[in-house]
């Protein structure tokens, strides 16, 4: 659980891939962390699991992605649904 004022570290995709490749070659977690400057050794275990499940896509940072803009038909349909809900409430 996160503590108040705790800072989270962000690692770039290239560093994650390098760490996973080193682990797959048999380098220990501690040694990989020391060489690459990773502060949390258990983070390597998470990256390796994500890599095995989803490949390199699993290591991509997906936070804060933009939503695609609605097409005109979708927008009209959404407004119609909102109007129907408001009419029922009245």
The answer to whether 22 and 41 are in contact (CB under 8 A) is no
Q: Taking the model in full, what pTM does it have?
A: 0.64
Q: Quick check: is 51 in a domain?
A: yes
Whether the per-residue pLDDT at 56 is higher than 80: the answer is yes
Query: Domain tally for the chain?
Result: 1
Which one is predicted more confidently, 46 or 65?
A: 46
Q: Quick check: is 15 in a domain?
A: yes
Q: pLDDT digit string (tens) for 57-69?
A: 888 877 776 677 7
Q: Quick check: is 80 in a domain?
A: no
CA distance linking residue 51 with residue 72, whole number of Å: 38
Q: Quick check: is 66 in a domain?
A: no
Whether the per-residue pLDDT at 26 is higher than 90: the answer is yes
Q: Quick check: is 3 in a domain?
A: no
Domain housing 54? 11-61
Q: Quick check: is 23 in a domain?
A: yes
Cα–Cα distance list, 51 to 30, 36, 43, 62 (Å):
19, 18, 12, 15
CA distance linking residue 5 with residue 35, whole number of Å: 28
Q: Quick check: is 81 in a domain?
A: no
Q: Quick check: is 55 in a domain?
A: yes
């Amino acid at each position: 659980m996160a503590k108040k004022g705790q800072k989270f570290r962000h690692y770039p995709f290239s560093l994650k891939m390098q760490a996973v490749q080193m682990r797959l070659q048999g380098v220990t977690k501690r040694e990989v962390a020391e060489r690459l400057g990773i502060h949390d050794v258990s983070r390597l275990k998470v990256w390796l699991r994500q890599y095995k499940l989803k490949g390199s896509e699993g290591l991509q940072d997906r936070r804060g992605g933009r939503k695609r803009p609605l097409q005109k038909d979708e927008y009209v349909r959404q407004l119609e649904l909102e109007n129907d809900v408001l009419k029922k409430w009245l």
